[in-house]
């Protein structure tokens, strides 16, 4: 989970360039998907889902030095926080 502060003039670029980052992440073992969530005002939350904590940890070692990711993070006005967590419960879809 990564929280950012992004001001309005940067929002379009911040959202559009996330696609490029996710294309790079798709090459890494265990990447499932990502969600970029606008919380409120200038607050944004990125959730990146991995097959396992081990896959997430391995990806963190690789991605911390990837220029593409650094450039995308640089679009934000402020990098607020970074945390790794484990999903413990998922609701089944209504159609299941």
CATH number of residue 24's parent domain: 3.30.70.100
Asked if residue 96 is part of any domain, the answer here is no
- Residue-wise DSSP of the chain: -EEEE--HHHHHHHHHTHHHHHHHHTTSTTEEEEEEEEEETTEEEEEEEESSHHHHHHHHHHHTT-HHHHHHHHHSSEEEEE--------PPPTT-
% of the chain beyond a pLDDT of 70: 99
Asked if residue 88 is part of any domain, the answer here is no
pLDDT-derived band at 94 (thresholds 50, 70, 90) equals: confident
pLDDT in tens, 12-54: 999 999 999 999 999 999 999 999 999 999 999 999 999 999 9
Is 96 a residue whose pLDDT tops 80?
A: no
pTM given for the model? 0.90
Domain hosting 11: range is 2-82
Query: In the predicted model, what is the mean pLDDT of the chain?
Result: 95
Number of domains in the chain: 1
């Amino acid at each position: 989970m990564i929280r950012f502060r992004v001001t309005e003039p940067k929002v379009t670029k911040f959202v559009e360039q996330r696609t490029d980052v996710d294309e790079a992440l798709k090459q890494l073992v265990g990447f499932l998907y990502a969600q970029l969530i606008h919380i409120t005002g200038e607050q944004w939350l990125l959730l990146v889902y991995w097959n396992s904590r081990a896959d997430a940890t391995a990806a963190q070692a690789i991605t911390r030095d990837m220029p593409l990711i650094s450039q995308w993070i640089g679009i934000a006005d402020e990098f607020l926080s970074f945390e790794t967590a484990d999903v413990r419960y998922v609701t089944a879809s209504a159609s299941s």
